[in-house]
Every structure is written in C-alpha cells, then in structure tokens.
Structure 1
Amino acid sequence: MQLSDRLPPTLGTTVRRMIAVKQTIAAVATLILPITFFMVVLFRYFLHFDLFAYEEWLLPIGFWLFFLGSAVGSYQDTQIRADVFESYFKSTRSIWLRELSLHVIEAVIATVMAYWAWLMIINDLGMYPWWQKTIALKIPHFVPHLGIFLGMAFMAFYSTLHIFVLLKFGPAVVDEDYDNEHPNQEA
C-alpha cells in the first residue's frame, strides 16, 4: 500500500499528483541527458563541431533530476540505507519503532538541509543584478539551487507524512506492509 493511500483523501490525492509531476520531470530529464551526450558525440566526432555550452544547461537538469528523484525515493521509502541493524529487529513493535526513528531522523536532516538550501537561494537572489551565472548561457545559479531546495523540502514533507502514518496506525502498519510485500509466505 502506498503512503498516499493511508492519508486523508484530499491530501492523498494532492500527494499523488505531486509525485506524478515529479516523475514526469524526472522522466523528461532522464531522456534529455543521454540524448544530449549522444548529440555531443555525434557533433564532435562525426560533424566536427562542438555542442555549445551543453554542460551549462545539463547541470541544472542533473540537479533537478537527482533531488526530485530523491524526493520520490523518500515518498516510496526506497532510499538506500546502510542499516546493519535491520536484521536484529524481529517483533512488529521493534520494527515499527525502528521505522519511526529512521523517518524522524530523515525528516530532521532534510528540514535542516532544506533550510540551508533556502538560505542559498535567498543569497543568490539577494545578489541581483550581480548574481552568479554560468559563463556562456548566463543561467543564474539559483536555478540548480532551487532544485536542491525543492528536493530537500519534499523529502522533509514525505518523511513527515511517513511519521504521521506510523503514529496514526501504530505497529499494525508494519504487519500490513510486510503482508503486502510477501503475499505468498505463510506466517
């Protein structure tokens, strides 16, 4: 069961739409990157031209892809974790407490990082008209920084929603998730 299915209906629908937008942006960005690199090879080695300043417009796309993808991973609870203690938790309550602790830690870290990213954007915008820009295309640095902020803010938001669901449904939500992930195993 997805996180949005456990939320109040209006919030769940809004969250599903937000995830769909992020996935669409990520899909488009995922296509742009290899197509651009293919064009670079084509231009450079076959047409003997350089694709002008492609690094400058790929940088913001890469930032947005990475951080919005991280937000989707946070929503789906599929972030990579180096959790060596996972196998030590056997009871439903201890697994639930572990999940709750992980989401609280993630929410705190993501909130702090979103705050720092916000300060970075405020600093970028405060330097107008002398803000930092890329050399050739003059893309303001706040464009990739905005991707960082949005990604971290959404990570904090989704972690907070996970905390809400874990607290609302208690340890029973852990059993339900396990049953949904392992439908053919007997208890």
Structure 2
Amino acid sequence: MLTADTPKNFFDKIVINGFSVICFSATLSLTLIICAAAFFRYILNGDLNGYEEWVKIFAFWLYFPAAAIGAYNRTHVSADLVQAYVPDGRCKDFLVFLKDLITVGVCLLFTYYGYDFFMFGFMGPLGTGIALPTTNVWRISLWTGYLAVFSGLIFMTYYFSRDLFISTRTLLLGRKNR
C-alpha cells in the first residue's frame, strides 16, 4: 500500500509535483498579500483596494490542488471509523468499498458542477464568450479561480477512483491476492 511519499509513476510525479509547486506559490502569495494589507492598514493607515480579489483566487489555487494531493496520499479528510474500529474481514472490506463508492460518486457530481462553474466563467453567462464575469476592482476573469476548482476536482476524482478500484479488488479477490 502506498503511503504519503514520493509519486511512483511519471504521471503522478508530474501532477503531484506540479500541484506542490502551485500550492507553495499560492501560500507565499497569500502570505505576502495579507502581510502587505495589514502593513498598509495598520502602519500606514491606508488601504490596498481590492486585495481580497487576489486572496480569493490564490486561496482557490491553494485549496483545490492541495485537496488533490491529499486524495493521492490518502490523507484527505474523512471519518475513517471503519478502518479504526472494524476488524479485518469481508465486512470491513465491504464497508471500505461502500465508502469509496460514495466518495467517488459525490466527487463525480462535484466535478460535473465544477465543469459548469468553470465554463460559466470561461464562456460567460450566455455561453458566447461575451460579457465574461470579472472581479469588481481589478477586473480579473473569474475563470482563473474556477479553473483551480475544476482541475482539483478532476484529480480528486482520479485518485478516489484509484482507491475504489483497489477496494473493489480487495472485496472481490480478498486481501491475499492484492
């Protein structure tokens, strides 16, 4: 079983290392923006007008790639009472399979809505590419943040599907044949 370590195959190396760079950059950017806003507000008695718009976009780019990394590492937030309290056996294998099936189903649903969310920002409310939604102050296209949501959900679905495949195989073949 894989643990929270370096990716084993080329695809995972690219995805996880790319998302790690994105998360690190977003963390640095958020820290600098919030520190600058605090400095301007409390030291200079000024205001960084519209800094919240940048914070929201960088927060999207921090959270959703990090959620995909968590799905890869199997450390994503979950109530894993089954793993902790149910003894090994067919019942536990079935409950893990059921948990993974529900997780993939919910993730697929949110990925579908994430696609609609992204396309709304990318194509506009009429779907023509005209009147694209933007932020109020800086006029940043909203699809730049929506892309983080959609791409994060795609890779979360991919890694949760991997877990579903493993739990299905364990349920059908047993633990010895893994």
Shorter-chain TM band: 0.7 to 0.9
Mapped contact 1:4–1:15 kept (Cα < 8 A): no
Q: Secondary structure at the match of 2:103?
A: helix
Q: TM-score, normalised by structure 1?
A: 0.78
Rounded Cα–Cα distance in structure 1 between residues aligned with 2:166 and 2:93: 11
Q: Which amino acid aligns with 2:96?
A: E
**CA displacement at 1:145 relative to structure 2:** 1.3
Classify 1:92/1:21 alpha carbon distance in 2 versus 1 (closer, same or farther; 3 Å).
farther
CA distance in 1, matches of 2:169, 2:13: 20
Match of 2:146 in 1: 145
Instruction: For CA contacts below 8 A with separation 6 or more, give which structure has more relative contact order.
Output: 1
Number of matched pairs: 170
The offset of 1:108, in angstroms, is: 1.2
Amino acid of the residue matched to residue 150 of structure 1?
A: S
> Can you give the 5+ residue segments of structure 2 that lack an aligned partner in the other structure?
none
The answer for the alignment partner of 1:172 in structure 2 is 175
State the shift of 1:18 in Å: 0.6
Corresponding position: 1:133 with 2:134: yes
Equivalent residues of 1:4, 1:13 under 8 A apart: no
Residue among 33, 52, 59 paired with 2:56: 59
**Could you tell me how far 1:19 is from its partner in structure 2?**
0.8
Of residues 20-29 and 79-88 in structure 1, the stretch that sits farther from structure 2 once superposed is 79-88
- Percent identity between the two aligned chains: 24
1: distance between equivalents of 2:138 and 2:108?
32
Partners of 2:132 and 2:141 within 8 A in 1: yes
* 1:100-111 → structure 2 map (5 Å cutoff): 100-111=97-108
Distance 1:153 1:59 in 2: 20
Query: Which residue does the alignment assign to 2:163?
Result: 162
The aligned residue for residue 46 of structure 2 is 49
One-letter amino acid matched to 1:97: F
Partner of 2:2: 2
CA RMSD of aligned residues (A): 2.6
- For structure 1, the 5+ residue unaligned runs are 177-187
Q: How far does residue 168 in structure 1 lie from its aligned partner after superposition?
A: 4.5
Deviation of the 1:97 alpha carbon: 2.6
1:22-56 deviation line (CA, Å, top 9, x unaligned) = 11111121222222211111122222332232111
Partner of 2:133, secondary structure, is coil
- The superposition leaves residues 40-90 of structure 1 with CA deviations (integer Å, 9 ceiling, x where unpaired) of 111222223322321111111101211111111111111222344544410
Q: TM (normalized to structure 2)?
A: 0.82
Which structure shows the bigger proportion of residues in helix conformation?
1
Amino acid at match of 2:145: P
